[in-house]
Structure 1
Amino acid sequence: MPTILDLKFALKEVTAYFGLFILIIGIIGGILNVIIFTTLKTFRETTCAFYLTFASIVGMGQLLTTLFVRILSDGFSIDPRSMLWFCKTYFFASNWCLSVWLTSMCLATIDQVLSMSKYRHLSNLRLAQRFILIACIFWFIHSLFTLIYWDTSSGTCAVFNPIYSIYFSHFTLPVLYGCLPLSILIIFSLLAFYKARTLASRNVNVVRLSRDRQLTAMLLVYIGYIVIAIIPFTSFYIYILNLYTTDPFVLVSNGLIFTVTILIEYSMYSVAFYIYCCASERFRKQLVHVLGNIFFGRWQHWINRRNNNQVLPIITIDVCPTNNKPISIP
């Protein structure tokens, strides 16, 4: 039977190695997502791709702020959250990024349903930009409460206001970040799947049909992973919320399970690019096209242009020193 020290060591190792792995692949995948979605015209003109691009940017922000700090704290015993200003900033950034990211994914799923229905006029970039702006402002105001109520006491960053503590622990985490977005994602993903199956029987442009099917396939597989990643954390959080114990072994065991579930939830920010590659053959070809043709072509064009603009020196060789008539070779 493992001891408390074994469990603490396991918690530290899991956070350090698994957390760093999630962070590294997440940043690489997020950058590639942004490059592909912003480079290709077929994605730049698609509302769903706009939501996915914004979600990739916010997801990278979440990884670089909250996950990185958690790795320092639990994996290397360096906790900057013991400072008051960092405690408040950390939870503000964490709540805002998570709220905006979940909203972006929900909007992307809803938009994909609208784009394949008679309400297709509601799926346009101008409305999408307004929705994202409203979401950013709304969640910014909502996250301001973390700056007010999160505090430090004896080096511990926590909520000490009883009313906000109940609101945060019983509503924000299990409902706003758990059950509510899960319900929206599952319902509209099923609707998007149904719409995609019936889209081929309609008189639809071939290019639009191919693009909608590609985005639907990418989105549905990714939503499936998000649901799988959120359910363990939400379920275990609800369990420990109603658990009252002072047994140190149980507390450390729950801490290890909590860390594993929250790292799994963090992985949903990291795996989007890799899921898109697995779910869509067309996306893999677009990746090769962007990286191989566009960026390599630009690099080659820059090299050729630099060589063409280079002034070659004139070399003078004195082949006949007796008659003082040099020959110039460019």
Structure 2
Amino acid sequence: MSTSTGLNIIHFTNKLSQYSSITLFVIGTIGNLLNILVFISLKLFRNNQCAFYFTVESISNIFLITNSLAIYLLASMGNYDVAILSILWCKLRSILFVSCTVITLYTICFSGIDQYLSTSHLFFLRQLSTIKLARCLTIIIVIISLLHTIPFVIFLDIQQGVCTVFHPQMVNYISYIYYPVLIGFLPMTITLIFSLLAYQNVRRIIRRQIPVVRRRLDQQLTAMVLIRIIIFLILTLPFTCLQMYTYLTKITPSSNFYIFAIENLVSSIVATLLNLNYAISFYMFCIAFQRFRRQVKHVLIKKYWRRCKLWCFFVELLNKDWHLPCTTPLSQSHKHMCKAAHFIFL
């Protein structure tokens, strides 16, 4: 009885994982690409450190949700987890997950720290907030995250139908340091402390003689960092706690299949929440901030949509084989179009 119930739970879990991973991949990829588009297109954000961190985080998020989709699609195509048959895929998916998770979480930390520095009333702290430092910190965290995957590559193994770490010392590191500290309470604490300090600084900005544009930008970015941190705390904490429990109990299908199926279902739900953390930042920014909505509208409609329409117009002219020299008597608007067409296509 318990075996058949466990099989039904496993079947339901697989369906839930497939549909949720596809949905999150679609909305997450669109949202993160729009984040990148807005932050690199607007001159207001182009050389801003916090916007740079948001861009790096969005790139890392795309890799994370793509990795999640690949895991569930490969499992659904063959009705089994490819990671329990291929040690290469077992290690590769763990490398992507571990490295990109560290990059995403610590770029969130850096964005909170940077907002505190850039809004500080102390001049020497404001001097530390530079785009050069942001790029250096990003390079450093990428290198550290890749080096950190080396022990996982060495100790990951497939035993009893499970792709995981079985080495006792490595299990202790994952259970007591990696999940609770490195990607758990340490980034949560850092981001929470510095975002609150930055919020206090922004409230004092009104008393200082700062241009209105800079003041509004600092207020907007600080509020965006706060929203991002709240999402991060709510959606990441359950996964951290569950992973600690999973590595400590080490329940396998052969030991107790029913309990294994229940844990598998809970893990799927928690993993969906975690992937939601990597997918919804753009939508939360749009919901929470009217100014960000105007900025997105400006980028999509006034910049790229108009360029797209102009490009389509010129393509239509070329398809009609309309090659008129610019010396032909035309209206002023047609002369500008002719020159622009020559500039684009020659």
Q: Which has the larger radius of gyration?
A: 1
Ranges in structure 1 where 5+ consecutive residues have no aligned partner: 315-330
Q: Deviations over 1:6-49 (max 9, x none)?
A: 32233122212222211111001011111111100111121000
Aligned 8 A contact 1:12 1:76 in 2: no
- Are 1:281 and 2:290 counterparts? yes
What residue is the counterpart of 1:138 in the other structure? 144
Paired residue for 2:342? none
Q: Which moved more, 1:155-164 or 1:32-41?
A: 155-164
Kindly state the Cα deviation for residue 296 of structure 1 after the two structures are TM-superposed.
1.6
Q: Secondary structure at the match of 2:149?
A: helix
Q: How many residues align?
A: 314
Segment of structure 1 superposing worse, 239-248 or 176-185:
239-248
> Which runs of at least 4 in structure 1 moved beyond 6 Å after TM superposition?
none
Displacement, 1:311? 4.1
Aligned to 1:94: 97
Mapped to 1, the partners of 2:6 and 2:238 lie a distance apart of 23
Cα offset, 1:179, TM superposition? 1.3
Q: Counterpart of 2:82?
A: 80
Report which stretch shifted further, 18-27 or 230-239.
230-239
Q: Distance in 2 between matches of 1:135 and 1:236?
A: 25
Measure the CA separation in 1 of the matches of 2:323 and 2:180.
72
Which of 33, 36, 44 in structure 2 is aligned with 1:34?
Answer: 36
What secondary structure is seen at the aligned counterpart in 2 of 1:152?
Answer: strand
Q: Per the alignment, do residues 239 and 263 of structure 1 end up closer, same or farther by CA in structure 2, a change over 3 Å counting?
A: same
TM superposition shift of 1:75 = 9.0
Alignment match, 1:170 = 176
User: Equivalences for 1:39-50 in 2 at 5 Å?
Assistant: 39-50=41-52
Secondary structure in 1 matching 2:157: strand
Please give the TM-score of this superposition, normalised by the length of structure 1. Answer: 0.87
Report the alpha carbon displacement of residue 76 of structure 1 after superposing the two structures with TM. Answer: 6.7
Identify unmatched segments of 5+ residues in structure 2.
325-346
* 1:157 match: secondary structure: strand
Contact 1:67 1:266 in 2 (8 A): no
Contact 1:33 1:53 in 2 (8 A): yes
Deviations 1:239-278 (A, max 9, x none): 4455587543333222211221121011111001101101
Shift in Å at residue 236 of structure 1?
A: 3.0
Determine whether 1:124 maps to 2:127: no
Does structure 2 retain, via aligned residues, the 8 Å contact 1:23–1:68?
Answer: no
Q: Does the alignment pair 1:268 with 2:277?
A: yes
Residue matched to 1:317? none
Q: Secondary structure at the match of 1:139?
A: helix
In structure 2, what is the equivalent of residue 321 of structure 1? Answer: none
Distance 1:205 1:75, change over 3 A: farther
RMSD: 2.4
State the percentage of identical aligned residues.
Answer: 32
Indicate how the Cα distance of structure 1 residues 311 and 146 shifts in structure 2: closer, same or farther if over 3 A, else same. same
Matches of 1:49 and 1:153, distance apart in 2: 44
1:258 corresponds, among 245, 263, 267, to 267
